[in-house]
Amino acid sequence: MAEFSRSDLNRIARKPDRGHYDKETIYAVLDEALVCHVGLVHDGQPIVIPTIHARDGDTLILHGAKASRLLKHVQGGHPVCVAVTLLDGIVFARSAYNHSMNYRSVVLFGQGRALVSDAEKLRASEVLTEHIARGRWQDIRKPNRQELDATAFVALDIESASAKIRTGPPGDAEEDYQLPIWAGVLPFRQQALAPSDDPRLASGIPVPDYILRYTRPR
């Protein structure tokens, strides 16, 4: 199983037993998440920006307006850090100190490059669209010249990464297990609700099956 090399950059220091460095675990979290947070330093000021992402092999695709300082930063080949977190539950312990959350998180590091050709941009657009909903790309109108020219796409090579995962019940101090306090896990999951038609939707157009049965990969 392919793994990222462990270094001072990606090594899990706190609770190292929760750390994972294999690509299968890390990429599964990236593929399930719909939003990532990108950290960078701009003119000496740390900035964290939420955005949509999609993975294409060992590369993360980002996009946005050409004026985006995030994308300009990535296009310039500057290092960035990307974080993704999926919440699976709140862990209620008997003590305040031992309350926690069950989660799956990934932090990755890399440098990016601009995607400039029409073929690269269309590929990136397809990857992003399919990340949001598999099957959508074949249904929609593809980007036209004006839209391609107005959008910046970048590819971030994933050079280093690690995942940190917590599962299971609370871990209370042994003497606290006898306290008359409820303890356990309140599970969370991301759930799609019933789709709502665009008010200007033409009559007779059904909701696609991939939206009616929408789920995130896991």
- Is residue 52, in this structure, part of any structural domain at all? yes
Residue 87 lies in a domain: yes
DSSP string, 19-36: EE-BHHHHHHHHHH-S-E
Torsion of CA 45, 48, 52, 57, to 10 degrees: 80
185-194 burial, b for 16+ CB within 10 Å, e for fewer? beeeeeeeee
**Beta-bridge mates of residue 184:** 92
126 contacts 132 by C-beta, under 8 angstroms: no
pLDDT of the residue at 147: 95
What residues are paired with 54 via a beta bridge? 61
| Structural domain contains residue 156 | yes
How does pLDDT run along the chain (218 residues), one tens digit per residue? 699 999 999 999 999 999 999 999 999 999 999 999 999 988 889 999 999 999 999 999 999 998 888 888 888 888 999 999 999 999 999 999 999 999 999 999 999 999 999 999 999 999 999 999 999 999 999 999 999 999 999 999 999 999 999 999 999 999 999 999 999 999 999 999 999 999 999 999 999 999 999 999 88
DSSP 121-141: HHHHHHHHHHHHSTT-TTTSP
In the DSSP assignment, the letter for residue 99 is -
Domain that holds residue 97: 16-212
CATH number at residue 67: 2.30.110.10
Q: Is the pTM of this model over 0.75?
A: yes
Instruction: Flag whether 79 is in a domain.
Output: yes
CA dist., res. 206 & res. 124, Å (int): 28
Which three-class secondary structure state does DSSP give residue 63? strand
State how many domains the chain has: 1
- Within-domain flag for 94: yes
Q: Is residue 30 part of a domain?
A: yes
Supply the pLDDT for residue 1: 67
